[in-house]
């Protein structure tokens, strides 16, 4: 059934970025992961996107970022062309899309995750409205996650609150390569208040795009061991999340961050994305943990910036430590104060 009632023509969503604790690195087929990953969504780093469907003129996609026309529209057009196989109505309309981020482009936060997350939520809402389906259903989120994945793999983990898992694992049957699933039940309350201080070492353009990076795993000498390691780490991390085992959490998270970088360093061609100040921050975080016995750890994306993870009950001590010992190694003393978030939000105007 198709309908064209007015409210089906417009949708707006706010969607957060996410940071992986077990890293997705390497693809199979179209935007499917070589290994499972586990992440949490941020609270303050998000994208807001509105999509308006219309039939004026002949431009397929008008894309505005911060109110100005942007070349990202070309990537969106290719994406829409691809998803039209699943959403045939896409071919019948032109798109006017407005988007903005709560964080600067150079902040070292994955903007593709929040951007494609927000766009996919708009498309899913439009799709459900056009076909008269109930939006308040698990089916809705699954579809949004799947559409987000087709734009940027890690974006599929941005559509849920808190923690989520993407990729087949032995943990649950529901785990899938097609979409992420939320980790709703059983996470120990100690992790509800997980904090993320993003320490900006270098806000320059990434030396290696994630699509080039993923491709490096195709022929990687350590491919099989890396896949096995990710499965083992996701099992350990999930158990730590259930039991509130902070020490195990810290160990797995650091192991994953360094393994991601080890894969990049040992691929062909090889990339070293960590900077001297990244290493200085890592060493200081470890020394602080050893001396103070406060449970802190780091994770790192495919770049030089360091995410310092800690727990709410230690906020004052950790913030004093950041101020006292870490900001000297950040670009212009810049850091972003973030933490685990409540997931996407539908916006009404």
Q: Which residues lie near ligand PMV (CB under 6 A)? A: 20, 23-25, 37, 110, 112, 152-154, 210, 260, 301-302
How far, in Å, CA of 292 to CA of 294, rounded?
5
Instruction: Find out whether 244 and 188 touch, Cβ atoms under 8 Å.
Output: yes
Question: Please, which residue, 23 or 289, has the CB nearer to ligand PMV?
Answer: 23
Q: Name the residue nearer to ligand PMV (CB basis): 25 or 288.
A: 25
Q: Which is nearer to ligand PMV, 19 or 322 (CB)?
A: 19
First to last CA, the chain: 27
Q: Is 59 exposed, middle or buried (0-12, 13-18, 19+ CB in 10 A)?
A: exposed
Q: What are phi and psi of 283, to 5 degrees?
A: -65, -40
CB of 341 to ligand PMV, least distance (A): 16
- Distances, alpha carbon 81 to alpha carbons 78, 113, 252, in Å: 5, 19, 39
At a CB cut-off of 8 Å and minimum separation 6, what does 278 contact?
201, 300, 304, 305, 306
Cβ-contact 60, 84 below 8 angstroms: no
Given the complex with ligand PMV, which of 124 and 152 has the nearer CB atom? 152
Nearest distance from C-beta of residue 27 to ligand PMV, angstroms: 8
User: What is the smallest separation between the CB atom of 37 and ligand PMV, expressed in angstroms?
Assistant: 4
What DSSP character marks residue 205?
P
Helices (H), 152-222: 210-215
Give the nearer residue to ligand PMV in terms of CB position, either 116 or 141: 116
Least CB distance to ligand PMV at residue 325 (A): 27
Nearer to ligand PMV, 80 or 113 (CB): 113
Report the nearest approach of ligand PMV to the CB of residue 302 (Å).
4
Min dist CB 155 to ligand PMV, Å, is 6
Least distance (Å) from ligand PMV to the CB of residue 42?
A: 12
DSSP 125-159: HHHHHHTT--SSSHHHHHHHHHHHHHH-GGGGGSS
- For residues 97 and 302, which CB has a smaller minimum distance to ligand PMV in the complex? 302
């Amino acid at each position: 059934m198709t309908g064209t009632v007015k409210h089906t023509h417009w949708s707006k969503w706010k969607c957060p970025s996410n940071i992986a604790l077990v890293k997705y690195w390497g693809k199979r087929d179209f935007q499917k992961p070589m290994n499972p990953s586990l992440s949490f969504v941020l609270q303050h780093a998000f994208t807001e996107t509105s999509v308006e469907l219309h039939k004026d003129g002949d431009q397929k996609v008008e894309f505005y970022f911060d109110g100005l026309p942007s070349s990202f529209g070309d990537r969106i057009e290719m994406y829409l062309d691809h998803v039209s196989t699943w959403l045939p109505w896409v071919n019948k309309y032109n798109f006017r899309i407005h988007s903005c981020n709560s964080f600067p482009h150079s902040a070292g936060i994955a903007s593709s995750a929040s951007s494609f997350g927000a766009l996919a939520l708009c498309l899913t809402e439009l799709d459900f409205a056009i076909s008269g389906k109930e939006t308040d259903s698990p089916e809705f989120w699954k579809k949004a996650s799947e559409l987000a994945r087709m734009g940027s793999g890690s974006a599929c983990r941005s559509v849920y609150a808190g923690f989520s898992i993407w990729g087949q694992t032995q943990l649950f049957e529901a785990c899938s390569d097609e979409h992420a699933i939320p980790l709703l039940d059983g996470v120990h309350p100690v992790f509800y208040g997980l904090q993320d201080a993003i320490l900006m070492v270098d806000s320059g353009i990434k030396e290696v795009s994630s699509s080039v990076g993923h491709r490096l795993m195709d022929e990687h000498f350590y491919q099989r061991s890396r896949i096995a390691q990710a499965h083992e780490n996701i099992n350990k991390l999930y158990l730590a999340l259930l039991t509130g085992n902070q020490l195990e959490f810290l160990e797995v998270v650091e192991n994953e961050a360094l393994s991601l970088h080890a894969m990049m360093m040992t691929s062909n061609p090889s990339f070293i994305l960590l900077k001297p100040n990244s290493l200085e921050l890592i060493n200081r975080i470890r020394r602080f943990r050893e001396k103070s016995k406060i449970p802190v750890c780091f994770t790192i994306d495919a770049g030089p910036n360091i995410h310092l993870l800690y727990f709410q009950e230690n906020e004052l001590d950790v913030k004093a430590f950041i101020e006292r010992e870490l900001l000297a190694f950040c670009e212009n003393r810049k850091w972003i104060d973030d933490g685990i978030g409540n997931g996407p939000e539908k916006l009404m105007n």
